[in-house]
Amino acid sequence: MSINARHAGATHDAFIWRHSGINQVLTQNYLRGERNTWLLGDSGYPLQPYLLTPVPDVQPNSPEERYNRAHSSARNCVERCFARREV
């Protein structure tokens, strides 16, 4: 888990990501040949070898559309986990 509370709420997520420690670690790991870590990001983030984002403007029934559906489903599951709390 990586938390960064240095920036105001109006700061774009991609800016925070670009300057985050976890991005630096993942970049260094990737450049050293480590290719076994992936994160899911929304379309506001840049596509990187370890940061998977949706493919824009896909054709119906294409591999890209299937990827976007799987990506969305996985992100939805993760976001529900973050939103879940004990009552």
The 3-state DSSP class for residue 80 equals helix
- Long-range pairs of 78-81 with CB within 8 A, sequence gap ≥ 24: 78/40
Of the pLDDT bands very low, low, confident and very high (cuts 50, 70, 90), residue 87 is low
Nearest to residue 48, comparing CAs of 69, 73, 31, 64?
31
Asked whether the beta carbons of 19 and 46 are under 8 A apart, the reply is no
**Boundaries of domain holding 66:** 43-87
- The answer to the question of residue 50 being in a domain is yes
* pLDDT of 6: 76
- The answer to the question of residue 2 being in a domain is no
* pLDDT of 30: 97
pLDDT, tens only, 33-78: 999 999 999 998 988 999 999 999 999 999 999 999 999 999 988 8
Report the 10 Å Cβ neighbour count for 16: 15
pTM (2 d.p.): 0.75
Count of domains observed in the chain: 1
- The answer to the question of residue 61 being in a domain is yes
